[in-house]
Amino acid sequence: MRKIATLIAISILLIGCKNDKKSDENEAKTEIAENRTSSNEMESDSSEIEITPISHATAVFKWGGKVFYTDPVGGAAAFEGKAKPDFILITDIHGDHMNAETLNALELEDTKIIVPEAVQKKLPEELQSNLMVMNNGETQEIMGFTVKAIPMYNLPQTKDAMHVKGRGNGYVLEMNNERLYISGDTEDIPEMRDLKNIDVALVSMNLPYTMPVDQAADGVLAFKPKKVIPYHYRGKDGFSDVNKFKELVNKGDENIQVELMEWYPEKDK
């Protein structure tokens, strides 16, 4: 009987050790998972770029102590309560990107406005002294930023396309080894696919003006930014399915963070 009792005690001890080992393994796995989540959160929040959508293609950016606007439209009221821009980027001549009334209403004084030549030709005389003209492929330095003008255009390339190659600019901005891409009105063009080391990308997707979400996702999966934000996604038939875009991107590469922002205030819907 004493021998049996001893065997039972040893068995219980072994089972207990095994359970403790499993418990320790589970705790270790949980800790690894928690660390991975924590690491992903740190990576996703590591960008210094703060983006405030205004509407469609219009946004306010804060980065490195500077503020800049993209494609400001909507009058001064659209920017009420926002910090004054240190500079402005305009991508194209269409009214959802270029609006002289808004630029004048912002009382920019000597604030520089980076534009393609086609935009420069359409803006009024009183704004000409503010303009810095950049064409596709050109690079400028402004307030600590390196700004490169990237082509944006429709495919296939035709003379009657809504966006012909060479007229408008996308932009890549770099500061403190961080790179931001603003696509402008483009399709899945080689110049977008060939981009390298993009930390944050704003990519348009609306038919018939730019491209559908599947094409946009294919382009993003080619150049693999750390984070992508769909914008400019209202088309003739309403809004593009940005949730589908997110699904397609993450199906192709789960490491790309897709951030969905509200680009359309209720009054614009």
3-class DSSP state of 221: helix
Span 53-92, pLDDT tens digits: 999 999 999 999 999 999 999 999 999 999 999 999 999 9
In 3D space, the residue among 170, 171, 242, 161 whose CA is nearest the CA of residue 209 turns out to be 161
Same domain, 57 and 42: no
The C-alpha atoms of residue 253 and residue 246 are separated, in whole angstroms, by: 10
The secondary structure of 167-203, three-state, reads CEEEEEEEECCEEEEECCCCCCCHHHHCCCCCCEEEE
CATH number, domain of 161, equals 3.60.15.10
Q: Which tokens in the block code for residue 120?
A: 């420069």
The C-alpha atoms of residue 236 and residue 109 are separated, in whole angstroms, by: 36
* pLDDT band at residue 45 using 50, 70 and 90 as cut-offs: low
Span 153-206, pLDDT tens digits: 999 888 778 899 999 999 999 999 999 999 999 999 999 999 999 999 999 999
- Residues whose CB falls within 8 Å of the CB of residue 98, separated by 6 or more in sequence, listed in order: 71, 73, 90, 92, 115, 119, 122, 123
Domain count, the chain: 2
Q: Which tokens in the block code for residue 193?
A: 């696919």
Same domain, 22 and 54: no
How far from 244 is each of 65, 74, 86, 144, CA to CA, in Å? Answer: 35, 29, 36, 37
Same domain, 31 and 151: no
Same domain, 33 and 80: no
* Average pLDDT of the residues in 26-30: 39
- Per DSSP, what are the bridge partners of residue 63? 66
Bridge pairing between strands 131-133 and 112-115: parallel
Same domain, 23 and 85: no
* Average pLDDT of the residues in 229-238: 95
* pLDDT band at residue 21 using 50, 70 and 90 as cut-offs: very low
* pLDDT band at residue 241 using 50, 70 and 90 as cut-offs: very high
Same domain, 23 and 95: no
Same domain, 32 and 157: no
Angle, helix 213-223 to helix 242-252, in steps of 10 degrees: 40
Domain span holding position 5:
1-46
Total Cβ atoms within 10 A of residue 120: 17
User: Environment class of residue 71 by beta-carbon count within 10 Å: exposed (0-12), middle (13-18) or buried (19+)?
Assistant: buried
Same domain, 91 and 143: yes
Q: Which tokens in the block code for residue 132?
A: 């810095």
Same domain, 95 and 182: yes
Q: Yes or no: say if 66 and 143 are a contact pair by the CB < 8 Å rule.
A: yes
Same domain, 71 and 189: yes
- The pTM is what? 0.82
